[in-house]
Structure formats: C-alpha cells, structure tokens
Amino acid sequence: MIKHLKPAIILFGLLTLLTGVIYPLLLTGLAQWLFPIQANGSLMTDAQGKVTGSALIGQAFNDPKHFWGRPSATAPFPYNAGASSGSNLGPTNPALIDGVKARLQTLKDADPGNKAPVPVDLITGSASGLDPHISPAAADYQINRVAKARNIKPENLRTLVAANTQSRQWGFLGEARVNVLTLNLALDATTAK
C-alpha cells in the first residue's frame, strides 16, 4: 500500500506546484508584461491621477453636466460588477414598460427643448447591466443638454464626442461606440482648463 501511496503523493505535490503555483505566476507575469493596462482592470484616472473607474464597467452619471450611459439593472446599486445581470423583464412586462417610460421622462425633463427621437440605448439596459458604452447617436442626443449645463458651444462637444468615438473592432465587429467614462473624463479635463 505504501508503495502505491508514495508516488501518488509525490505526483499530487508536483501537479499542485505546477498547476497551482508555477502556471498562474507565469500567466500573471506574461499578462503584466504584454497587456499591463488590461491586466490591471483597464483603470481610468482623472486629471489629478485619481482612479475614477474602469473603462470596462459603466459608471452612474446623472449630473446634467455629464453624458449619461445606459441604464443598469444591477442590484443593490447601478453598475454593480458583483451582480452583473439584466432585468430579465420581457417586452410585454408592465414593469419594463413603466421603467422605459420613466427613463424617457427623465431625459425629456433634463432637456425639454430636445425634440429628437431618443436612442434606444438611453432607455434600455444592456444584458450585463455593466455596459460602459453608448452609441454615437446617444451621445449626440445629449450634446445640447451638456452644452447648456457647462455653458460651452455644442460644436466643441461634437468634436470631443467624435474624438472619443471608437469604430468597429477590426473594422467589422460590433458597432461604433462611445465610452461614457472616457468621454466624461475628457470633457472634465477640457472644461477645467
């Protein structure tokens, strides 16, 4: 019995060392070397160098001076990365319809003069509840509200939105998108000057 147990214990120890220590350390080291920003969570900093969030997770903005992102259905607070999920409400569910109507009213109240159609991504949440992006149309819809709140020209904001618009990945995957946190950090840095 000891004759069979000894090699099993040695093999167990070697495999634990290899797969539980050496392999994770090797991959962590490679990730830090090849992709340091991504390996550390794609953290974003403001002009003072303070970490304000991750480019991968949406942030809750509701100040008229900032662009707003997609609604989040995570609990107990919006954009909770520990509770990533959608609302799971079907299209005929009255709660979904009421939520969309409330978001629409919030947008209309924030910019009563805006008669443009509201882009769907400003009133519906993403499947994860963490989406950091909005469409260029959603950013464009908010330009007049942000311009009025900051007392700057809408043309300047259009230029800033265009500079922060990411095209399709590799030219064919996904759609053009605007990272709301990146845009708002650029906006704060531009208007702070």
**pLDDT of 47 strictly over 80:** no
- State pLDDT tens for residues 95-126: 889 999 999 999 999 999 999 999 999 999 88
Q: In Å, how far are 132, 152, 165, 175 from 169, measured between CA atoms?
A: 16, 32, 12, 8
- State pLDDT tens for residues 83-92: 888 778 888 9
Quote the number of domains for the chain. Answer: 2
Quote the mean pLDDT of the chain.
91
Report residue 152 as tokens.
């700057």
- Neighbouring CB atoms inside 10 A of 119's CB total 19
Q: Phi first, then psi: what are they for 124, rounded to 5°?
A: -125, 145
12 and 59 fall within a common domain: no
What is the separation of C-alpha 159 from the centre of its chain, rounded to a whole number of angstroms?
A: 21
Predicted local confidence at residue 38, as pLDDT: 85
131 and 148 fall within a common domain: yes
13 and 72 fall within a common domain: no
